[in-house]
Structure 1
Amino acid sequence: MSVATRTVLMPPVPNREDIDATWKYLEAGISKIMINLQEGIDMQTYMGVYTAVHNFCTSHKAVSNTSHGSIGSTHRGAHLLGEDLYQNLMTYLSNYLKGLVEISKTHTDEALLTFYIREWDRYTTAAKYINHLFRYLNRHWVKRELDEGKKNIYDVYTLHLVQWRTTLFSEVHEKVMDAVLKMVEKQRHGETIEHGQIKSIVNSFVSLGLDEADPTKSTLDVYRFNFERPFLEATKLFYQAESKEFVAENSIVEYMKKAEIRLDEEEERVAMYLHPDIILPLRKTCNNALISDHSLILRDEFQVLLDNDRYEDMQRMYNLLSRIPDGLEPLRAKFEAHVRKAGLAAVAKVAVDADKLEPKVYVDALLEIHTQYQGLVKQAFKDEPEFTRSLDNACREFVNRNQICKSGSNKSPELLAKYADTLLKKSASGAEENDLEATLVQIMTVFKYIEDKDVFQKFYSRMLARRLVHTSSSSDDAETSMISKLKEACGYEYTNKLQRMFQDMQISKDLNSGFKEFEAGLIEPEDAKPVDASYAILGTGFWPLNPPNTDFTPPAEISKAYGRFQTFYGQKHSGRKLTWLWQLCKGEVKANYCKNTKTPYTFQVSTYQMAILLLFNESDKNSYDDIKKATQLQADVLDPALGIFVKAKVLLSNPDGEKPGPGNMYHLNYDFKSKKIRVNLNIPVKSEQKQEVDETHKTIEEDRKLLMQSAIVRIMKARKKMKHTQLVSECINQIRTRFVPKIPDIKKCIDILLEKEYLERLEDDELGYLA
């Protein structure tokens, strides 16, 4: 008859003085619990066993026969009898478990697991009952032994676990683990298994982790050594073999899909039946077998995916390689090189003629590449900071060093400033305010990558000045928004002058209101109606504007008007000197002389052009020399102005087609016709534009020298003494937010400051500050 079906009958409780009979009674009770627990225990048997344990530990006869030593007889006798009971129970459990070991040999694989789990459940449930029935032993003898520091003494429940571990587990755990691994492999091959069995095995292994030093504590040592370690080894071997075979027969993209599925399955496996403690080492094992071992071929495929814009597959590769140490670094390097190459190619595509390149076309080419790869970083690389840094590095390279910016020119900031100018002008394609704001944000995206931010500032401030003076801004809100963005990016100093320009324009509005009242109070002849003019007073230190580069005699009508304003301004601000910027002045004149038109044309002209046209009020024809003498304009200003009039057929030249110059005669064209009533003749001349660009670059170079010198003085004033190389390095660090200074330029500035005796040379290549 097998152990599982043996029936145990309980005799009556023996006399407490008969120790042997008492143990036999207890043994029968324990056996009934161990073997037939499912049938239940009646209250009489339960109380009988409990009473027998108490009797065994407190038998008076035993006390008198075993008392000795200096300890009181009752205490010592109970001590010895408790030890006997403990030893008898341990021997019983050992024999019981040896019987199970023998039966286990008849089972293999899943049958062995079924047997192990069934017996473990029966055994641990019985252990709880027996532990309760032996409370007296736990409370007195076991506690006393532990208090005295005895080793290898456990409460009755723990004793059950220790005996299972030393007697049965040590014999069967390898076979049990083999059966578990076979089941897991079946599941990995797609078969359905009874995973609850594995969970029960895991729980059993965990329960057997007892701390030898402190039995009240548990450890995972048994589980880790006997379950986790072989499980991880089997996992590694399985995936190494499978992945090697799969890679040999399939594409890399298909392999990545397979690897993703396998990794997810292992995560589910942990949640389903494994202990949570295994999650990290299991991930590491799977990552090594499925990813690290194939990282080279994965990275080689990355360039192919980049070239073909395979976002989803790149995301898959990112997710896989992010699981291993330094898995993504080679991808970031390839990504950066790819974006830089794409940016350079995009610029080369639009840079057929650099001189005729439209700012919008150039900036759009830069933005297109940035937008494309920013989307890739967001979608495939989860906006990871390191990939964002790689994108920024690549964009910085192709924005500052491309075909348009050959030999270190400052073309990118110049073109960006010009694009901003076209957007912020009234003539800018009538874009909606929301669209304009979005485009300004895009401009700031490119601005972020520009190294020579001082170049952008110079061009932007000059163009802003013109927009404000000519009242050609699309809106004050848009202008303010752009300045706020620049201030946020570069700080208060960067936009200080731009904001002061706005303040000057506001002050000028109030000044003009006061001038109108002043002018209204003047007594004028009825036929001398004053010119309707407005004036802008611009602070010399804030506006990037130069005095006129030509002499000029304004016409009488203009002279009277500005004379009145000077009188008014002198009364309000005595001692201030006004320098008239005639090259920026403009106005409108009505052409009342034209035939065949009901409504007279209005010519929009510069003040220089106005002075030329008003000469034709006195005479229908004027010679080149007469015009030059009357206006005092230099040829480089006069010739383009006359050329525009001739081209527009406002004036007729004699001889026809000749360039303006001495000997030419100009006639007023009474048959002038235009589709527009308002005719704009104030058109910028290319030579003037080029000259202004050259002047701007010259100003930038001068400002840079001053900026470097002030930085050097500031550093030396704080440090007093400094090595030459350290000073150069510190100077670069302080200035690089505005532009990247060249080392030879810094050295020249140091030499200038040495000559000016701001600095002195000391020993060991050291420089000193002279107060």
Structure 2
Amino acid sequence: MPPMNSFSAMPSQTVPDDIDNTWNYLQDGITKIMTNLQEGIDLSTYMGIYTAVHNFCTSQKASGFNSNANISTGAHRGGTSGAHLLGEDLYKKLTEYLSRHLEELYIQSKAHTDEALLAFYIREWHRYTVAAKYIHHLFRYLNRHWVKREMDEGKKNIHDVYTLHLVRWREVLFERVSGKVMDAVLKLVEKQRNGETIEHNQIKQVVDSFVSLGLDETDSSKTTLDVYRYHFERPFLEATRKFYQNESKQFVAENSVVEYMKKAEARLLEEAERVDVYLHPDIASALKKACNEVLISEHSAILRDEFQVLLDNDREEDMARMYSLLFRISDGLEPLRSKFEAHVRKAGLAAVAKVAADADKLEPKVYVDALLEIHTQYQGLVKRAFNDEAEFTRSLDNACREFVNRNEVCKSGSNKSPELLAKYTDVLLRKSGTGVEESELEKTLVQIMTVFKYIEDKDVFQKFYSRMLARRLVHSNSSSDDAETSMISKLKEACGFEYTNKLQRMFQDMQISKDLNTGFKEHVQTLGIKGLDSSYSILGTGFWPLTPPGTTFNPPEEISADNDRFSRFYRNKHEGRKLTWLWQLCKGEVKANYIKNAKMPYTFQVSVYQMAVLLLFNEKDKHTYEEIASTTQLNSESLDPSLGILVKAKVLLLKPDGEKVGPGTTFSLNYDFKNKKFRVNLNVGMKSETKQEEAETNKTIEEDRKLLLQSAIVRIMKARKRMKHQQLVSETINQIRQRFVPKVADIKKCIEILLDKEYLERLDDDDLGYLA
């Protein structure tokens, strides 16, 4: 190697000699780095090349020019005109060298195919890029000065030395061999897809090479994925589509749909793993899209056709697999949701039809359990197979809403579902012989609210529920105050404060009544009177769904005296308030001391009407129907059921025997009365009373609905002042549907009523106006 100062010893030589001598020296070092770097390079050689480049680029002699004109040019170039020219010559020499070197590699590549070509390409790429880093460092001075200046002045196709290596690789070698390299890659991938083991690290290195060649022509400091996407990603996706189109077509022809789904699921998983192991992350989205299109979209019709079969046979695992596949494509699940909704609705209707042989005798629990069983079954399916997806949940809700509100039982009356649900709730919350654990009761109340959510006529439930709650409270018949409060809280959460306002006020009245009774007992003790062991409930007229008794009544003297004392006590506390006695709700106990051979006296639990009848027999053993009616002042609708129960229980004997209770009959005490229990409940409702109460409740519902509709219409018109008739109808439906689904005909009737009452007026163009 020439001495390191040899370059500085040539000031008198011409530029061509300078560049030729310098380049010959540099070329030997570059070739050694390019071809034999694995053998190493000694420090003195390395530093010699570095210094030669530095000295050459900083030489002030350029073609022997010393004129003023040249000086001015040099000043314009920062006083290094010669250095500039020499830097350009050196850059060109290096470019030509790289082109020759790569041309030789191209000729060598022709001798290789498939995996041998891949190995050759990867080996040469690695050798070339490692050498490029060394050479880049050796030419650092050229980069910092001449290259930087050229790039700053916006010169095209000028790059730093490392980038120059990549550009020459791309233009001289890559553009000519990339197709064959990619063919080799695709053959390797196909082998793996067919179950063979491959050296996937080769593919990863090819990918990295393609990515590295993505140079931004406008800014060499930046890279793009354009080269990779065009030369690797595009043919890879095309080959993937072709492979899976052929495979899936053949597989579907020879196997069941369920087996195909398993195959597609496995293939999709493999492709995702392929991205993780040796592909570039950029391809993930496009590869997923291509696979989804070929493996799922093109076979979506046969998958959807199979869904009903899977539903009918409860193939949950296969439905989950189908969901996860069709979830991947646009609108893939919509037909499934429609089929699911129709299937659930059909299953719900069938379950109700199974238990609804006689709608009038249908037990509320049996009915509600049938509804819940279907909901629970398919809610579990949505959660496990359909990932608890909101759209499938909506389909489930739509189906449940249909079979809960329009089924075999509801044909006998549109209010039947909310009525039966309210009755079932009453059974749960009422004291009964079969005690239910509190945790179990709470769980059942949650299930009831599930059915309640689907009920359209929530006002019907409210009416029946409030009447039954009133009875439970008045008769102290609730199984648990906590359970009652919990149920009201759930209703409030579902429908708002207004829905449960009256229910909560009923509880408040009962608490106030407790305090009032305590005060009344203290008052009686103060007077020194030994009265009845009685308690009274003060029920606010506007909050309790109760009506005054439908009969006159003359209470027994013992009861009347106690009532008068309480009335005076109450009026002293609340002046101006009026008490209306709800005799039909009053009850009490009487002790039967007259029965022969009884080990201990029986206690009869009776209504106040029955008590009035029985107390008459303290005077004599026999009474005619007319005598009882005259003394009690009860009409036949109230007296006959009361006497009927006493006769049926054989507390009273009827003469003539076998006659129907009524005028002309006589009643006598049964001294031989026997019963297994010593406390006998005679205060039981008759079916006729229950039916009458249901009819009254339904009548009240209709009246309340008219008022609700009218108030909603007035509220809307007050806010809007003027509206089209059809708009007003639509808006009214939207506001009311949380309570019940109103009929358009009923809304129109209410609009007519409000027009007659001059709340509204007719305007031009079918408009309605609000009258303040």
TM-fit CA distance, 1:566 = 1.0
TM-fit CA distance, 1:58 = 3.3
TM-fit CA distance, 1:145 = 0.7
> For the residues of structure 1 that align with 2:86 and 2:741, how far apart are their CA atoms?
92
Structure 1 residues 226-271: Cα deviation after superposition (integer angstroms, max 9, x where no partner): 0000000000001111111111111111111111111111010001
Find the counterpart in structure 1 of residue 40 from structure 2.
40
C-alpha contact (below 8 Å) 1:377/1:384 kept by paired residues:
yes
| 1:58 partnered with 2:63 | no
Find the counterpart in structure 2 of residue 677 from structure 1.
678
| 1:724 partnered with 2:729 | no
- Aligned residue type for 1:281: A
Structure 1 residues 530-575: Cα deviation after superposition (integer angstroms, max 9, x where no partner): 2111000100000000000011111111111111111111211122
Question: Which of 54, 70, 73 matches 1:71?
Answer: 73
Structure 1 residues 260-309: Cα deviation after superposition (integer angstroms, max 9, x where no partner): 11111101000100000000000000000110000000011111111111
Question: Which of 460, 464, 471 matches 1:466?
Answer: 471
- Aligned residue type for 1:597: A
CA root-mean-square deviation: 1.3
> For the residues of structure 2 that align with 1:408 and 1:117, how far apart are their CA atoms?
81
> For the residues of structure 1 that align with 2:413 and 2:334, how far apart are their CA atoms?
30
> For the residues of structure 1 that align with 2:120 and 2:413, how far apart are their CA atoms?
81
Change (3 A) 1:446 1:610: same
Change (3 A) 1:695 1:60: closer
> For the residues of structure 2 that align with 1:580 and 1:139, how far apart are their CA atoms?
108
- Aligned residue type for 1:34: M
* Counterpart secondary structure, 1:521: helix
* Counterpart secondary structure, 2:47: helix
Find the counterpart in structure 2 of residue 542 from structure 1.
543
Find the counterpart in structure 1 of residue 768 from structure 2.
767
> For the residues of structure 2 that align with 1:56 and 1:118, how far apart are their CA atoms?
33
TM-fit CA distance, 1:65 = 5.4
Q: Which has the higher mean CA deviation after the structures are superposed, 80-89 or 226-235?
A: 80-89
- Aligned residue type for 1:336: E
For residues 690-729 of structure 1, what are the structure 2 equivalents within 5 Å? 690-729=691-730
* Counterpart secondary structure, 1:767: strand
> For the residues of structure 2 that align with 1:221 and 1:60, how far apart are their CA atoms?
42
| 1:479 partnered with 2:484 | yes
- TM-score, normalization by structure 2: 0.97
> For the residues of structure 1 that align with 2:412 and 2:403, how far apart are their CA atoms?
14
Find the counterpart in structure 1 of residue 14 from structure 2.
none
> For the residues of structure 2 that align with 1:601 and 1:718, how far apart are their CA atoms?
66
Find the counterpart in structure 2 of residue 556 from structure 1.
557
C-alpha contact (below 8 Å) 1:187/1:193 kept by paired residues:
yes
* Counterpart secondary structure, 2:663: coil
- Aligned residue type for 1:720: K
* Counterpart secondary structure, 2:282: helix
- Aligned residue type for 1:511: L
Find the counterpart in structure 2 of residue 4 from structure 1.
none
> For the residues of structure 2 that align with 1:143 and 1:279, how far apart are their CA atoms?
38
> For the residues of structure 2 that align with 1:60 and 1:728, how far apart are their CA atoms?
95
Q: Which has the higher mean CA deviation after the structures are superposed, 270-279 or 548-557?
A: 548-557
Question: Which of 184, 189, 208 matches 1:203?
Answer: 208
C-alpha contact (below 8 Å) 1:624/1:665 kept by paired residues:
yes
* Counterpart secondary structure, 1:113: helix
| 1:686 partnered with 2:687 | yes
Find the counterpart in structure 2 of residue 628 from structure 1.
629
Q: Which has the higher mean CA deviation after the structures are superposed, 167-176 or 15-24?
A: 15-24
| 1:223 partnered with 2:228 | yes
C-alpha contact (below 8 Å) 1:23/1:56 kept by paired residues:
no
C-alpha contact (below 8 Å) 1:66/1:77 kept by paired residues:
no
> For the residues of structure 1 that align with 2:699 and 2:292, how far apart are their CA atoms?
59
> For the residues of structure 1 that align with 2:110 and 2:452, how far apart are their CA atoms?
78
> For the residues of structure 2 that align with 1:271 and 1:573, how far apart are their CA atoms?
82
Change (3 A) 1:197 1:665: same
C-alpha contact (below 8 Å) 1:422/1:428 kept by paired residues:
no
* Counterpart secondary structure, 2:283: helix
For residues 326-725 of structure 1, what are the structure 2 equivalents within 5 Å? 326-406=331-411, 409-427=414-432, 429-524=434-529, 529-725=530-726
* Counterpart secondary structure, 1:578: coil
- Aligned residue type for 2:636: A
> For the residues of structure 1 that align with 2:413 and 2:635, how far apart are their CA atoms?
35
Find the counterpart in structure 2 of residue 49 from structure 1.
49
TM-fit CA distance, 1:729 = 0.9
C-alpha contact (below 8 Å) 2:61/2:82 kept by paired residues:
no
> For the residues of structure 2 that align with 1:440 and 1:409, how far apart are their CA atoms?
23
Runs of 4+ in 1 over 6 A off after TM superposition: none
Question: Which of 153, 156, 159 matches 1:154?
Answer: 159
- Aligned residue type for 1:569: Y
* Counterpart secondary structure, 2:769: strand
* Counterpart secondary structure, 1:760: strand
Q: Which has the higher mean CA deviation after the structures are superposed, 467-476 or 400-409?
A: 400-409
TM-fit CA distance, 1:647 = 1.2
* Counterpart secondary structure, 1:291: helix
TM-fit CA distance, 1:639 = 1.4
C-alpha contact (below 8 Å) 1:501/1:538 kept by paired residues:
yes
* Counterpart secondary structure, 1:653: strand
TM-fit CA distance, 1:679 = 0.4
Structure 1 residues 65-105: Cα deviation after superposition (integer angstroms, max 9, x where no partner): 59864412862211111111111100000000010001100
TM-fit CA distance, 1:520 = 1.2
Q: Which has the higher mean CA deviation after the structures are superposed, 14-23 or 314-323?
A: 14-23
Find the counterpart in structure 1 of residue 183 from structure 2.
178
TM-fit CA distance, 1:577 = 1.1
- Aligned residue type for 2:287: L
> For the residues of structure 1 that align with 2:237 and 2:528, how far apart are their CA atoms?
105
- Aligned residue type for 1:412: S
C-alpha contact (below 8 Å) 1:63/1:78 kept by paired residues:
no
TM-fit CA distance, 1:57 = 2.1
Structure 1 residues 347-383: Cα deviation after superposition (integer angstroms, max 9, x where no partner): 1111000000000001101111111111011101111
Find the counterpart in structure 1 of residue 28 from structure 2.
28
Q: Which has the higher mean CA deviation after the structures are superposed, 17-26 or 87-96?
A: 17-26
Change (3 A) 1:273 1:428: farther
Find the counterpart in structure 2 of residue 6 from structure 1.
none
Question: Which of 243, 248, 252 matches 2:253?
Answer: 248
> For the residues of structure 2 that align with 1:498 and 1:670, how far apart are their CA atoms?
45
Structure 1 residues 456-487: Cα deviation after superposition (integer angstroms, max 9, x where no partner): 00000000000000000001111011001111
- Aligned residue type for 2:374: I
* Counterpart secondary structure, 2:606: strand
- Aligned residue type for 2:293: N
* Counterpart secondary structure, 1:226: helix
Q: Would you say how many aligned residue pairs link Structure 1 and Structure 2? A: 758
TM-fit CA distance, 1:12 = 5.4
Change (3 A) 1:98 1:606: same
Find the counterpart in structure 1 of residue 307 from structure 2.
302
TM-fit CA distance, 1:619 = 1.0
- Aligned residue type for 1:310: R
TM-fit CA distance, 1:60 = 4.9
* Counterpart secondary structure, 2:577: coil
- Aligned residue type for 2:34: M
- Aligned residue type for 1:306: L
| 1:323 partnered with 2:328 | yes
